[in-house]
Amino acid sequence: MSFTISFSIYQLKMSRAVFNSMDSFNQQYVDNELYHAKLSAMNVGVNRVWDENITSGSFNVNADDCSSMVSITPVGLDTVKLKVITRTNIFDEDNFAVNGALLEKRDSVIAFFKYRSPVSSFFWFTENEGNIHWVSGDTVWGPLHTNGLLKVSGSPVFNGKVTATLGITPLPTDPSNTASYLGGYEIGNSNVVTTDMSTIITAATNGNGAAAINTRSLYDREITLEFLDDGRVIRTVETDPPDTLA
C-alpha cells in the first residue's frame, strides 16, 4: 500500500514537471514570435522612411499571428522616431477562468534614424571627386562621403565610415585595393546637400538679439564656436553663457 501511494505521488510530481516544461516551451515560443514580428515591423517602417521618404504616420503590420502598430514621428530636422508595439493573444487557463478572455501578450521597440546627414558630420564631403586619388600616406579621421566615384591607389587609411554613391574603384573586395576601411564602407547611398538656408538665416537672426541683420557686431569680443556632428553649433561669447544654434 505504501509503495502504491509513493508511486502515485511520484507520478503526480512527474506530471506537474511535464506540464511546467510544456508551459515554459510555449512561453518561449510566444516570446520568440513577438520578438521576430516586432523586428519585421521595424524593418518595414525603416524601409518606408528610406524608400518613400515618410517622416510621419502610422500603419499596421501582421506577421506570425501577431499584429504590430508602427508609428513614425519627426524629431528635429533630419531625424525620425520609429515605435513598434506588437501584440498577440494566447489561451491562458487561469486568465480565462477569471476574465473569460484570451491573455494579451505584447512587446515593443523604439529606434531613432537620421534620414539625412548634415554636411558638418563628415570629415570629407564632395559632390564629385574629379581627379582625386586616395593614396598611401593619406589618412581620414572621420566619416567620408562622395556622391561621385571614390578612387583608391595604394593603402590610404579611412578611420570613419566611407560612403560613395557611384562606387569605389577598385572595389574594396579587389586584392589590388589595400586601403584600410576601419569604419566600414557602403556603396550606393547618396546624400543631397540642402539648398534651403532659411533655418540657418532664422537662427542667425534670432541669435543677433532680434536686431536687424548686419547691424550688431560681435567682432570686438572673443567668440568660440564648437561644431557638433549633428549640424548644430555651440557659440560662446567671452563669459556669456553658451547657446546652441540649430
Q: What is the pLDDT along the chain (246 residues), one digit of tens a residue?
A: 444 544 454 454 444 444 444 456 567 778 888 888 888 988 898 888 877 878 899 999 988 788 899 999 988 767 889 999 998 887 776 766 777 777 788 888 998 887 666 666 788 999 999 999 999 999 999 899 999 999 999 999 999 999 999 999 999 999 999 999 999 999 988 887 766 777 777 776 676 655 555 545 555 667 888 888 777 888 888 888 888 876
33: phi then psi, degrees, rounded to nearest 5: -60, -45
Residue 63 maps to a domain: yes
Q: 177 and 140, same structural domain?
A: yes
Q: 103 and 25, same structural domain?
A: yes
Q: Which residues pair with 113 in a beta bridge?
A: 80
Whether this prediction's pTM lies above 0.75 is answered by: no
Residue 52 maps to a domain: yes
Q: 85 and 54, same structural domain?
A: yes
Question: Which structural domain, as residue segments, surrounds residue 131?
Answer: 119-187
Residue 179 has a CB neighbour count (10 Å cut-off) of 22
Count of structural domains, the chain: 3
Residue 1 maps to a domain: no
Q: 95 and 127, same structural domain?
A: no
Residue 40 maps to a domain: yes
Q: 176 and 131, same structural domain?
A: yes
Residue 43 maps to a domain: yes
Instruction: Round to whole Å and give the CA distance between 154 and 194.
Output: 34
Any idea what the Cα angle at residue 72 is, between residues 44 and 113, rounded to 5°? 75
Q: What is the pLDDT of residues 40-56, one digit of tens each?
A: 988 898 888 877 878 89
7, 32 contact by CB (below 8 A): no
Residue 49 maps to a domain: yes
Residue-level length of the chain: 246
Examine residue 172 and say whether the peptide bond preceding it is cis (omega within 30 degrees of 0): no
55, 67 contact by CB (below 8 A): no
